[in-house]
Amino acid sequence: MKAWVIGQIGPLDSLPAPLRLADLPVPVPGPGKILLRVSVCGVCHTEIDEIEGRTAPPRLPVVPGHQAVGRIAALGASVAGFAVGDRVGAAWIYSACGSCEFCRSERENLCPGFRATGRDADGGYAEYMTVPAAFAFRLPEVFTDAEAAPLLCAGAIGYRSLNLTGLKNGQRLGLTGFGASAHLVLTMARHRFPDSEVYVFARNSEERDFALQLGAVWVGDTADTSPLPLAAIIDTTPAWKPVVAALANLAPGGRLVVNAIRKESGDSACLAELDYARHLWMEREIKSVANVARSDVAGFLTLAAEMGIRPETEEYGFEDANRALLDLKQRRIRGAKVLRVA
């Protein structure tokens, strides 16, 4: 089968080809696993984090991709509840131990044995992949394959991030960065909190225009000051500067939720500008988002179907995987990027 693999770690734009095309054997599903013939796979900033070493795969080469949609081609032993031909999706959570204190308390995203699709196990930038049946997701029929792909990560992590804000209807929400996840959060927030205003901070003017089209009441640059203090802000940027700026825009008691696996170190000097009285006092707080649990993926898929969410997507041919990653790195974003595999 054809597959794109990460073969080396380094800055994305300095590598001749961040991913290389390989011929790999079609994987055989072991006990409890299914073989998925991939139709599409979402393109995520996490792939860039893997290539650049911020969340490096434990082994190389590895097939990236954790927003895979396809049809079941074969079943391993002891798989129940699925049949060949069923349409399913694979998300960032590939598996967890199931027995630690976190797994027993519905916090499997914090499991020390958490394994990620496309990092700890081969993912969806390939014609076929295997997925543990217990971590495969049935997809609502209302979504096309390309629409379903970003729901599995950008949507699910946005769903978790919004829940972690503790936002109440009528409170003001800020979104710093406006890529695949944030545009779904804005739509979700307007549905769940109809009396809450959404303020968007983004460097790119096209992203700001897009946010206004989706219902934001105000847009500005990531360094701007919002016209009113905000009860909660979700940061989805890869940098530190927007974090410091966001803290200054929080109301007393406000919460900043940082939705990122790692932050790029290039602008970390700005953390020296963090002023306790201005940025953290008055019970302002920062909370990180770590991975997703199966309940986040399943809960968001159900909510998205109920809301009739249609994520904005931009498709790339399978041969254009490297271009899709470079476009994402260079912030050429409108909605979610999807790789057409089959």
Q: What are the pLDDT digits (tens) for 108-151? A: 999 999 999 999 999 999 999 999 999 999 999 999 999 999 99
Determine the number of helices (DSSP H) and then strands (DSSP E) in the chain: 9, 17
Mean pLDDT of the chain: 95
Residue type, 16: P
As its CATH architecture, domain 156-288 has 3-Layer(aba) Sandwich (3.40)
**Residue 181: phi, psi to the nearest 5?**
-75, -45
* Three-class HEC string of 152-205: HHHHHHHHHHHHHHCCCCCCCEEEECCCHHHHHHHHHHHHHCCCCCEEEECCCH
Is residue 341 scored above 80 in pLDDT? yes
Report the pLDDT value the prediction gives residue 177, as an integer from 0 to 100.
Answer: 93
Taking a C-beta distance cutoff of 8 angstroms, is the pair 35, 72 a contact? yes
Superfamily of 2-138+312-340 according to CATH? Medium-chain alcohol dehydrogenases, catalytic domain (3.90.180.10)
Q: What are the pLDDT digits (tens) for 226-269? A: 999 999 999 999 889 999 999 999 999 999 999 988 887 778 88
Structure confidence at residue 13 as a pLDDT band (50, 70, 90): confident
**Four-residue CA torsion sign, 118, 122, 125, 128:** negative
Place of tokens 């990460």: 6
Report the pLDDT value the prediction gives residue 264, as an integer from 0 to 100.
Answer: 77
Report the pLDDT value the prediction gives residue 333, as an integer from 0 to 100.
Answer: 64
Angle at 300 between CA 294 and CA 301, to 5 degrees: 90
Place of tokens 């009860």: 231
* Three-class HEC string of 102-157: HHHCCCHHHCCCCEEECCCECCCCECEEEEEHHHEEECCCCCCHHHHHHHHHHHHH
Mean pLDDT, to the nearest integer, of 6-23?
Answer: 93
Question: CA dihedral defined by 183, 189, 192, 193, rounded to 10 degrees?
Answer: -160
If you compute the radius of gyration of the chain from its CA atoms, what whole number of angstroms results? 20
Q: What are the pLDDT digits (tens) for 63-89? A: 999 999 999 999 999 999 999 999 999
Is residue 8 scored above 90 in pLDDT? yes
* Residue 104, token pair as written in the block: 């027993």
Q: What are the pLDDT digits (tens) for 280-338? A: 999 999 999 999 999 999 999 999 999 998 888 999 999 999 999 999 988 776 678 99
Give the residue extent of every domain in the chain.
Answer: 2-138+312-340, 156-288
Global pTM reads 0.91
